[in-house]
Structure 1
Amino acid sequence: MSDSPSILVPLRVLEGESIPEGVPDLLTNAHVVLLGYHVVPDQTATDQARNQFEDQAIRRLDDYTAMLEHAGATVESQLVFTHDGQTTIDRMTDEHDCLAVLIPNATRPLKNVLVPVRGIVGIDRFVRLISGLFGTMDVNITLYHVAEEDETDADVETLLNGVASRLSDEGIPSDLIDTEISREGSPRSRIVDTSGDYDAIVMGESDPSVTTFLFGMTADQVGKQFLGPVFVIQHGEANGAEEADHE
């Protein structure tokens, strides 16, 4: 089985976001980078906000850290006051070499995970994340691909079977891995339509981006149909921003 994958869990810690039910058990095998962040208005200095709210935010992060550690995860927490929440998420993902960002919606007991696969880009990270998180769990993994017009079934089967083989090599029992091909609709719409049968999703950042999930309309649209946790595997570089950190 792979080493514990590093997962960034961002929470707007002063706006009522918390660790939802079921998420600690989902992260039992993870190394969690727990990011508590607060977006400060442009006209307000981050140091001013930190001086006013730091103690309250730290207490909440400490509670969430204890909750995750009780479930078995290792945790390092960061508190950031920033003018740009997405830049903070990107930077922390890069600095801590996180495989994925978790959108931590509540989850029922985990039985089925949907893994949309677009191509070979990022497959190493998919394999590391899935095997590291779920290798010791009795969880069904469905590798899902929405085929383009110029893709043959044989091409897609080769892709998905190759990923399945790599997961098996990393400790996922082959009888817990399924493959599914769709040829109807756009990848985004098919993922949304299919997701209702699953307890969690693992997807690449372009399907859609973390920015869209956390701050855009697609988050609202997906949330109406899929309320479970989403692991968004990262590939991009982070950008700098003015921030005040507390470790």
Structure 2
Amino acid sequence: MASPDDHRVLVPVDVLEGEPVPGTIVDAFASIPVVLLGYHELPDQTGPDQARDQYGDRARAELEELRTVFEDAGCDVTSRLAFTHDRLKTFERVAVDGSCDAVLLLNPAPVLETVLVAVRSDVNVEHIARLLETVLTDTDLEVTLFHVASDEAGRDAGTELLETARSELVAAGVDGDRIDSTVVVDDSATDAILEAAADHDLLVAGESRPSIRRFVFRDRAERLARRTIDPVLVIRGEYLESDEETSGGEPD
């Protein structure tokens, strides 16, 4: 069983837009160290230094208030503040700098009882299982492992994939009675995941490429986050990031 301290989750919050962090999310992630990133995306004509002078005090006050909410729940939380022209690049840089295993894209979560875990391939299944076990600790959350096969010929492979994922979760310490598995056939994985997510409270998606910017936020996971009302936890892959991919962000 992994220690909660072995993991870390990045939670970006647009502090000047009043983006809320649901209490259910705070409670569910209270056992995992959190990097709370207060950010605000700027128009091209506004420089970060100018924004800090104009909005810095207000942004820091909002961020400190959010940090207190996590601390009151018993969470080990650190905070960062960024004014940026490219929020995606900033998310990526902070996730890499902070050694974050996952990025939580916020949406309302009035109830948090069931989790849909979209499994695309066997890449990083063990890594995903270890983090999920940590999230599930001290909760009553039920888990549905979900795979979308592109045709009937892929259904058996999908079933085998989810059996592997289930075995990894059980090996990590999750009670098998809390885990269900579903394989569907659909030519649009995103649409199928969204339909299934409507019956769940939190969507978990695993990253299959080494760049948050290139895949996590500009591909399926961001589309899912924009089109579902659920929070989306994107579990990052265990990859080495190149200098080209992680450079270029302005200082916090």
Report if TM-score (shorter chain) is over 0.5: yes
2:191 partner letter: S
Greater shift after overlay, 173-182 or 130-139?
130-139
Runs of 4+ in structure 1 off by over 6 angstroms are: none
Q: Number of aligned residue pairs: give it.
A: 240
Match of 1:141 in 2: 143
Asked whether 1:241 is paired with 2:248, we answer yes
2:30 partner letter: T
- State the alpha-carbon separation in 2 of the partners of residues 94 and 42 from structure 1: 25
2:246 partner letter: N
Match of 1:230 in 2: 232
Match of 2:46 in 1: 44
Any residues of structure 2 matched to 1:161-240 within 5 Å, and which? 161-205=163-207, 209-211=216-218, 219-220=225-226, 222=227, 226-235=228-237, 237=241, 238-240=245-247
Tell me how far 1:149 sits from its aligned partner: 2.7
Asked if structure 2 preserves the Cα contact closer than 8 Å seen for 1:28 and 1:73, the reply is yes
Tell me how far 1:135 sits from its aligned partner: 2.6
Identical columns (%) = 36
Tell me how far 1:239 sits from its aligned partner: 2.5
Tell me how far 1:51 sits from its aligned partner: 1.9
Q: Deviations over 1:147-200 (max 9, x none)?
A: 133744432222111111111111110111111110134111100111111010
Asked if structure 2 preserves the Cα contact closer than 8 Å seen for 1:9 and 1:103, the reply is yes
- State the alpha-carbon separation in 2 of the partners of residues 144 and 217 from structure 1: 17
Q: Deviations over 1:188-213 (max 9, x none)?
A: 11001111110101102469732357
Asked whether 1:18 is paired with 2:47, we answer no
Match of 1:131 in 2: 133
Q: Secondary structure at the match of 2:218?
A: helix
Structure 1: give runs of 5+ residues left out of the alignment: none
Match of 2:160 in 1: 158
Q: Deviations over 1:124-148 (max 9, x none)?
A: 3311221011033222111111113
Match of 1:3 in 2: 3
Match of 2:77 in 1: 75
TM-score in terms of structure 1 length: 0.88
- State the alpha-carbon separation in 1 of the partners of residues 29 and 204 from structure 2: 13
Structure 2: give runs of 5+ residues left out of the alignment: 210-214
Tell me how far 1:218 sits from its aligned partner: 5.7
In structure 2, relative to structure 1, the CA distance for the partners of 1:7 and 1:147 (3 Å cut) is same
- Higher-helix-fraction structure: 2
Asked if structure 2 preserves the Cα contact closer than 8 Å seen for 1:38 and 1:82, the reply is yes
Asked if structure 2 preserves the Cα contact closer than 8 Å seen for 1:6 and 1:33, the reply is yes
Asked if structure 2 preserves the Cα contact closer than 8 Å seen for 1:210 and 1:232, the reply is no
Match of 1:87 in 2: 89
Match of 1:102 in 2: 104
Greater shift after overlay, 10-19 or 55-64?
10-19
- State the alpha-carbon separation in 2 of the partners of residues 192 and 169 from structure 1: 28
Tell me how far 1:219 sits from its aligned partner: 4.5
Tell me how far 1:240 sits from its aligned partner: 1.9
Q: Secondary structure at the match of 1:59?
A: helix
Higher relative contact order (CA 8 A, sep 6+): 1
- State the alpha-carbon separation in 2 of the partners of residues 126 and 72 from structure 1: 24
Q: Secondary structure at the match of 1:141?
A: strand
- State the alpha-carbon separation in 2 of the partners of residues 59 and 27 from structure 1: 22
In structure 2, relative to structure 1, the CA distance for the partners of 1:211 and 1:155 (3 Å cut) is closer
Q: Deviations over 1:25-72 (max 9, x none)?
A: 121222111001122232332112112211111111111011012222
In structure 2, relative to structure 1, the CA distance for the partners of 1:217 and 1:117 (3 Å cut) is closer
- State the alpha-carbon separation in 2 of the partners of residues 54 and 22 from structure 1: 28
- State the alpha-carbon separation in 1 of the partners of residues 223 and 25 from structure 2: 24
- State the alpha-carbon separation in 2 of the partners of residues 139 and 15 from structure 1: 30
Asked if structure 2 preserves the Cα contact closer than 8 Å seen for 1:47 and 1:244, the reply is no
